[in-house]
Amino acid sequence: MSSDGIIKKYELLKKNFKNNENDSKITEYIFDIYNNCIEFLNGVSIKDLKSLSANKSYFTFEGASKFSRAVNKDLFCTNPTIVNSFFDCMGANSFSQMSSSDITKACYTIAISFCCSIDLLKSNDQKTPGTFFEYFIGHLYSKRFSLKPRTQLDVLNLDMQSTLPTDFVFDLGTGKPKYHVPVKTSTRERVIQVWGHQRVLDGVYGTGRFLGLLTCLSETKLDHKKLEVVEICLPEQWRLYQLFIAQLKRIYYLDIPRKYEELNNVFPKINIKPFGDFFSEADVLDVF
């Protein structure tokens, strides 16, 4: 049964992720999970959704008595070629031969296949998709930086001594950047936490020591009765957070919401990019 397989493989990933974040066996678990999800979703019917976001089309996987979250038609690869090429790149840890756009599509397909499978297999389970997404994205950063992340930092500050729990932190070493990488399937009103954490890092270690790279899946919300998809965005809040709390270096999305994409075009700009761009700019993020 592929549906049993998904959960079992996910449990294996969960059990083995820590301390093996850039190991090839993590790639293999994700590859297995992806194949199980696709096999499961191939047996499920698809229904078009009404999209309230201009120039974006969405569908849903229809289970026995419920719908999965919305899936972006342009980003979801029905043909496995691009996704398989991406797994080859992960295996070789070399992404330069793939375009940003193809990387984003492959990552989107892998992430959303798992999320939609869990939407149909479990009830109201947001935690499992969130954890898978965190591990998947954490693995990719860990591969690209060839480095294991940390999830807590020591604070030694005059008479204070404590530890600061963080999202993934990748420390490239003395005189090189340190990256603060929060990972969320969607942000909603909780996103202020990310700027808050960045502010603490700036305060404790000095502004500019940690570059924040928030990485998200999408901001879609599906109305299960009307079968309408909207993107929930708070661009004016984000501008206030970026102005008054701290500066994030990049916000990467697999499915960039239109209203956030527009923040690239107003001064002072917030850099919001497709996640695929990370793979080519990873070595020069401290320069630009």
Task: Tell me if 227 contacts a copy of itself by CB under 8 A.
Answer: no
Cβ closest to a copy of itself, residue 99 vs residue 162: 162
Q: Dig out the tokens for 269 from the structure.
A: 């700009």
Cβ atoms of 111 and 133 within 8 Å: the answer is yes
Cβ closest to a copy of itself, residue 160 vs residue 284: 160
Task: Tell me if 232 contacts a copy of itself by CB under 8 A.
Answer: no
Cβ closest to a copy of itself, residue 110 vs residue 153: 153
Cβ closest to a copy of itself, residue 54 vs residue 160: 160
Q: Which stretch binds a copy of itself (CB under 8 A): 2-10, 57-65, 235-243, 257-265?
A: 235-243
Task: Tell me if 195 contacts a copy of itself by CB under 8 A.
Answer: yes
Residue of the chain from 169, 172, 192, 282 that contacts a copy of itself (CB under 8 A):
192
Task: Tell me if 204 contacts a copy of itself by CB under 8 A.
Answer: yes
Q: How far apart are CA 276 and CA 274, in angstroms?
A: 5
Residue of the chain from 8, 14, 239, 258 that contacts a copy of itself (CB under 8 A):
239
Over the chain, what HEC string results?
A: CHHHHHHHHHHHHHHHCCCCCCCHHHHHHHHHHHHHHHHHHHCCEEEECEECCCCCCEEEEECCCCECCCEECCCCCCCCHHHHHHHHHHHHCCCCCCCHHHHHHHHHHHHHHHHHHHHHHCCCCCHHHHHHHHHHHHHHHHHHCCCCCEEEEEEEECCEEEEEEEEEEEECCCCCCEEEECEECCCHHHHHHHHHHHHHHHHHHCCCCEEEEEEECCCEEEECCCCEEEECCCHHHHHHHHHHCCCCCEEEECCCCHHHHHHHHCCCCCCEEECHHHHHHHHHCCCC
Q: Dig out the tokens for 9 from the structure.
A: 């493989």
Residue of the chain from 14, 178, 199, 221 that contacts a copy of itself (CB under 8 A):
199
Cβ closest to a copy of itself, residue 26 vs residue 214: 214
Residue 91 backbone phi and psi in degrees, to 5: -60, -45
Task: Tell me if 164 contacts a copy of itself by CB under 8 A.
Answer: yes
Task: Tell me if 92 contacts a copy of itself by CB under 8 A.
Answer: no
Task: Tell me if 127 contacts a copy of itself by CB under 8 A.
Answer: no
Task: Tell me if 259 contacts a copy of itself by CB under 8 A.
Answer: no
Q: Which stretch binds a copy of itself (CB under 8 A): 32-40, 56-64, 93-101, 185-193?
A: 185-193
Q: How many residues bind a copy of itself (CB under 8 A)?
A: 25
Residue of the chain from 1, 64, 156, 160 that contacts a copy of itself (CB under 8 A):
160
Task: Tell me if 236 contacts a copy of itself by CB under 8 A.
Answer: yes
Residues of the shown chain interacting with a copy of itself in the complex, contacts defined by CB under 8 A: 155, 160, 162-165, 190, 192-193, 195-197, 199-200, 202-204, 236-237, 239-241, 243-245
